[in-house]
Chain A
């Protein structure tokens, strides 16, 4: 093995693309280890770490794109690079899209644009947002790590101009039927959704779609909008817009409990809206919600169910007895030492929901972001007892895309957790979205099978439980993904909360049995 390098000078490729390309590179035959990126300080420190630094790379600037790998032969390296390039071409699509270097140039040539989607590093988002707003365009800002003062400035500017500002840190938005950012493709119908949690919006919209209805618009305002420094600027505008929109008959609101000063302002606004509305404020007292004349929802599943009730659709997620029966069967064949669950999540909303669902059965679980500080993991790569990990957290995603786009972030976890003989259950969520992996389940199936075989050889049985967030309209098709899971012997639940609940039930039951 020796190190091979390919350098392209003076181009810029976003880390979203380079890290996915890295995944492809490392899947190629004859490649021991490789890395792809723009030659910035992060890149340099990574390749120093993995021992792939060369003098050629040392001479590169941050404007240079580098592919480096420890490979069997030059031929193997060249073939792998060709495969990487092919993959990037496919990803960038065959359609002839008008392309520009700057927003100014693009808007000068395309005044017909009505929404600008911004996905640039957080500290650069305000500048791009201002360019769009000053040109009279609505914005959807995917960028995260945008400073509070920048977020406030762009939202105040949007408000002044009467333009919609979705995000920053907007994970989900469906406008006029289009699935923006990391949304699912959802049927259109009478529900207008506005929320601070992307996963939450996507979850409720997917239930509405599954229930045979649909959404007019879903407006993601970003995780910080309802915190006091921002004061819910986008939420208030979103509510007004949905209230005015004649196609929106029902309104659904999803957020963690708003900030102390923001909550009463939002409640006032809710009071003024006469359309039927379902409100989920996670962690907020029921009376406060109900005092606004809204239907209170307890959690994401409940929120979707109560929305569908407004149009007379009864949506059944099944009851606890069903889960108990599945749990009973699941523990058959497990080895005595198998007693813990492990969870790998693509985001905080689902992991929080899972931890709450598990709590009722087995109490606190360890995590990189636990509900109870005493259960903070010392090392996110070393699970103990019952552990759940959010792979959307910084230690995994620094400079990398969301796990929903790049499933390679979570991939190593499957075999890492499975190699612990005390593990009985592994919970994994899957999220479907147009820019995401074309087959997120299929991507992990080989590892799942290998993990099951490892447990078999030890004389035990490893149970995998999953739920898929998405719709039948998604390119990946939720039904196909679910079937792939079942074919791999994975138990598929109707929702994330159900999956977590089932996992915890299995652990509780197994413990009860083992202890007589």
Chain B
């Protein structure tokens, strides 16, 4: 068959996967049990693969913290030596259908959210969102207090939530998005409504769980208005897991930053990364003394939500968040229109009343991005070089990684023509 037709068919298939998949949050399990390929000495981090010596300070702190937490080393210093020697292996989470937001490091013992898409068979993973405190592994910190929190997650919180999810018979993530559509979330950086609705689903079953510390569990859950994010990341990974198996497709199926480079993945070449210099996420800063020089370039996998057509792609859904990034309602529409220009499908579950009930665009075709020189805008939180969150905002995805992707896909599907 003609390559062009094969690409067209494949893109239709991936668009169908993106729009018709129904990822269900089915359980929480330790990473080592849940994630194929996970080993006791492995730690997963965000973004494209990175050389050990290039790993940013906050990620290094998180990695060392995770290693100590898992007993791979006694101290952070020892942990780093083992990383340098290769005894502890660092790898890109998305290569395992796992999403690690910001500086998060996922080690073998950590509980991960498991989402299963029963329609196309993909399974995705993400660690549990640690809450709104800035002092977390997820923002590059590790100390005794954080270790205690990690242990609570490992020994109590994860298994308790798992019990509730089991009692609920699984939670349909697309249903949560659909029921909260029009409530002002773009579901990458603003997830108030979806987090609350997700909590409601769990609340019905939490009183019935057997865990003796269920009061603490409910308190932990109730104060986290961004809890939905990591559930959603696992759900998206379940969807992209199936999309990554469709050869010939030029649709983007993964993206993330490691603080140095920003990378994307394309269905046709699965887990291959195409990278460019990571952009800065500009918008609002959490502390007026912070400057651009304090900021880390794009870091984290939470933008996999955008691969699934949320966040910046669905900017028009969340005018209030766009305002925080320095934009207006017009800008919000423009961001979604930009995404629409380079996308192949739209989410019927997220029809936006003030955008003529149009669905938010999904399935970005890397060909369109390069051909039209139209760069999707991503929303995101930004990190500080020294650790911690700098702020939140938006940025254009870098053109160079899309160009690199075209080279890679062409070499894969039409080697004789390149």
Contacts and interface: CB of A to CB of B under 8 A. Distances in A.
A and B touch in the complex (CB under 8 A): yes
Interface of A: 10, 12, 63, 100-102, 105
Given A10-B373, A101-B372, A105-B341, 13 more contacts: A10-B375, A10-B396, A10-B399, A12-B373, A63-B373, A63-B399, A100-B341, A101-B338, A101-B341, A101-B374, A102-B341, A102-B372, A105-B340
Tell me whether chain B's interface is mostly helix, strand or loop, or mixed. helix
Interface string B315-348: 0000000000000000000000010110000000
Nearest to A63: B373
Contacts of A63: 373, 399
Contacts of A12: 373
Contacts of B373: 10, 12, 63
A326 B267 CA distance: 78
Q: Which A-B residue pairs are the 7 nearest by beta carbons?
A: A101-B341, A101-B374, A101-B372, A63-B373, A105-B341, A102-B372, A10-B373
A12 B374 CA distance: 11
B334 to A, nearest CB: 10
From A10, A12, A63, A100, name the one whose CB has the most chain B CB atoms within 10 angstroms. Answer: A10
B312 to A, nearest CB: 16
Nearest to A104: B341
Interface string B388-407: 00000000100100000000
A9 to B, nearest CB: 9
16 contacts: A10-B373, A10-B375, A10-B396, A10-B399, A12-B373, A63-B373, A63-B399, A100-B341, A101-B338, A101-B341, A101-B372, A101-B374, A102-B341, A102-B372, A105-B340, A105-B341
Interface in B345-373: 372-373
A101 B338 CA distance: 8
B317 to A, nearest CB: 19
A10 B341 CA distance: 16
Interface in B40-75: none
Contacts of B372: 101-102
Contacts of A10: 373, 375, 396, 399
A28 B290 CA distance: 39
Contacts of B396: 10
A10 B370 CA distance: 11
A10 B374 CA distance: 8
Nearest to B358: A109
B366 to A, nearest CB: 16
Contacts of B338: 101
Interface residues of B, number: 9
Tell me whether chain A's interface is mostly helix, strand or loop, or mixed. loop
Contacts of B374: 101
A40 to B, nearest CB: 13
Contacts of A102: 341, 372
Interface in B165-204: none
Interface in B98-118: none
Nearest to A101: B341
A100 B334 CA distance: 10
A246 B24 CA distance: 66
Contacts of B375: 10
A10 B372 CA distance: 11
Nearest to B399: A10
Contacts of A100: 341
A212 to B, nearest CB: 47
Contacts of A105: 340-341
A63 B369 CA distance: 13
A200 B139 CA distance: 71
A105 B371 CA distance: 14
Contacts of A101: 338, 341, 372, 374
From A10, A63, A101, name the one whose CB has the most chain B CB atoms within 10 angstroms. Answer: A101
A63 B375 CA distance: 12
Nearest to A105: B341
Nearest to A61: B399
A101 B341 CA distance: 7
A472 B396 CA distance: 49
Contacts of B341: 100-102, 105
A102 B338 CA distance: 11
A105 B343 CA distance: 11
A101 B399 CA distance: 17
Contacts of B399: 10, 63
B368 to A, nearest CB: 9
Interface string B188-222: 00000000000000000000000000000000000
A100 B337 CA distance: 9
A216 to B, nearest CB: 37
A35 B375 CA distance: 27
Nearest to B372: A101
A63 B373 CA distance: 8
A94 to B, nearest CB: 15
A35 to B, nearest CB: 22
B183 to A, nearest CB: 26
Contacts of B340: 105
A109 to B, nearest CB: 9
Nearest to A11: B373
B280 to A, nearest CB: 14
Nearest to A108: B340
A100 B374 CA distance: 11
A101 B340 CA distance: 10
Nearest to B396: A10
A491 to B, nearest CB: 51
A17 B341 CA distance: 24
A246 B317 CA distance: 51
B67 to A, nearest CB: 40
A41 B374 CA distance: 22
A14 to B, nearest CB: 14
A20 B338 CA distance: 28
Nearest to B398: A10
B222 to A, nearest CB: 43
A12 to B, nearest CB: 7
A66 to B, nearest CB: 16
B336 to A, nearest CB: 12
A101 B361 CA distance: 15
A410 B340 CA distance: 43
A105 B341 CA distance: 7
Nearest to B338: A101
A8 to B, nearest CB: 13
B380 to A, nearest CB: 19
Nearest to A62: B373
A102 B374 CA distance: 10
A12 B399 CA distance: 14
A101 B374 CA distance: 8
Nearest to B375: A10
A101 B372 CA distance: 7
B331 to A, nearest CB: 14
A95 to B, nearest CB: 15
A314 to B, nearest CB: 57
Interface in B205-260: none
A101 B342 CA distance: 10
A104 to B, nearest CB: 9
A63 B374 CA distance: 11
From A12, A63, A102, name the one whose CB has the most chain B CB atoms within 10 angstroms. Answer: A102
A12 B371 CA distance: 13
Nearest to B334: A99
A131 B340 CA distance: 19
B321 to A, nearest CB: 23
A10 B376 CA distance: 12
A464 B396 CA distance: 55
B407 to A, nearest CB: 16
A431 B340 CA distance: 41
A161 to B, nearest CB: 24
A102 B369 CA distance: 12
B187 to A, nearest CB: 24
A21 B238 CA distance: 51
A285 to B, nearest CB: 51
A10 B338 CA distance: 14
A102 B399 CA distance: 18
Nearest to B374: A101
